[in-house]
A and B are shown apart, each in its own frame.
Chain A
């Protein structure tokens, strides 16, 4: 069974802090990794994608991938209350895309 695991949270950080979200996966053949943000009652929206080991930065967001450890993370710098949402990790191999259950993040003003 191919698994994608995330801490369900909730993760609470103060405004301006760094939020760190983690995800592990079981399929060593996975090639594509994604982070989606889902506000309550809304559909998931893509934040970041990463395909090779290392860091990828986009504004306040940094995705980190370590294929040897089967670990992908998302850092959110200067967290804002508007970042409060559930963050879904997704891992894809070919046509097979698996989602974690999500981590709920709350950024307190």
Chain B
């Protein structure tokens, strides 16, 4: 069965510090991978998605970036965090774009920028 991991689970960072969040998927190959952010009491905002190694699409221009160095690894980064970057970061995976394909979420990373 497929499993998705995210770490760290919780992170407190000062404004202006760098960020690196990691997501890995087990039990599947060539998944589509997604990074979402959920601000407190808000909906899910798609940040980046990737359909393959080295392929990144950005949905929202901001100070975040994403990379996919391996098939089942997706990394979210920032060089300098802003207060507005606080939120719940969720990685998700899906096998493809067929109608019946379902999207699954990892456990999430809660980030607080002070």
Interface residues of A (CB under 8 A from B): 31-32, 34, 36, 41-46, 49, 51, 88, 90, 92, 94-95, 97, 99-102
Contact = CB atoms under 8 A, between A and B. Distances in A.
Interface in B70-114: 90, 97, 99-108, 110
B49 A95 contact: yes
B60 to A, nearest CB: 14
A43 B90 contact: yes
B105 A32 contact: no
B42 A51 contact: no
A43 B105 contact: yes
A45 B90 CA distance: 12
Contacts of B42: 101
Contacts of B46: 97
Contact of B97 (A36, A49, A95, A99): A95
A32 B99 contact: yes
B61 interface: no
